[in-house]
Amino acid sequence: MARARRAFLRRLVPLGAWLIAGLLFLLRWTTRTRLINDGGLYERWRAGERLIVAFWHEQLVLMPCFGWWPRVCIMISQHRDGELIARAVRPLGIEAVRGSSTRGSRGALRQILRAYQEGASLAWTPDGPRGPRRVAKTGVIHTARATGAMIVPIGAAARWHRRLGSWDRMILPWPGSRLVFVVGTPIRVAHEVTPAEVEKARATLETELERVRVEADRLLAAAGDGT
């Protein structure tokens, strides 16, 4: 019975991914976005620079509405819902590798480094895939050290949305909602760093991600209907 149930759920993955991809396209087409202080992000991308874009896991659904992306690759959980998400974001031009800080980490890190070497920027949720919520882990710091890429923190907020009851309280924006994105201060990580310096960079990233998250919420609230 359990095997039959797993097989049935596997057959539902393509359909579920198609539905999620359709929803993401709908959100991209109908939401109204405002970008605050892009910090030269698009200029760097247009110049061919590869970056690491970091944001909290709860903002994952908002990010496809961010605007123009170059080739980008993101790490997705190895859990069943990870396969669903990986398939769903593919039509939006977002590549995914499967892994996490607890399962498949070495293999996933090799894949994401390979994607970077082949020309992709990276998208990273430092508190993913299972939390704790809004607590940055060091994986992105080590990746920045290995690649030399700059980490760009981004905060996002949606006026009309629902929060899931998941560990991250993920934000699901409604179609037609107003969105605000705030780009934070970029972070460089030297190739040669001590454990203390890794922790300092991690704490700096965590603080900056919280700052831009709060700023996005504040700007959206202050703008009212004129966002």
- Residue 28 · residue 92 · CB < 8 Å: yes
Distance from C-alpha of 50 to C-alpha of 70, rounded to nearest angstrom: 9
E strand or H helix that includes residue 157: strand 151-158
Helix (H, G, I), strand (E, B) or coil at 23: helix
Question: What are the pLDDT digits (tens) for 159-200?
Answer: 999 999 989 999 999 999 999 999 999 999 999 999 999 999
- Residue 165 · residue 74 · CB < 8 Å: no
- Which residues have C-beta within 8 Å of that of residue 226, sequence separation ≥ 6? none
Q: How far is CA 66 from CA 13, 102, 118, 122, 211, in A?
A: 26, 29, 23, 14, 18
- Residue 61 · residue 173 · CB < 8 Å: yes
The more confident residue out of 74 and 208 is 208
Percent of the chain with pLDDT over 70: 85
- Residue 102 · residue 130 · CB < 8 Å: yes
Question: What are the pLDDT digits (tens) for 98-140?
Answer: 765 545 456 678 888 999 999 999 999 999 888 899 999 999 9
Question: What are the pLDDT digits (tens) for 23-33?
Answer: 888 988 999 99
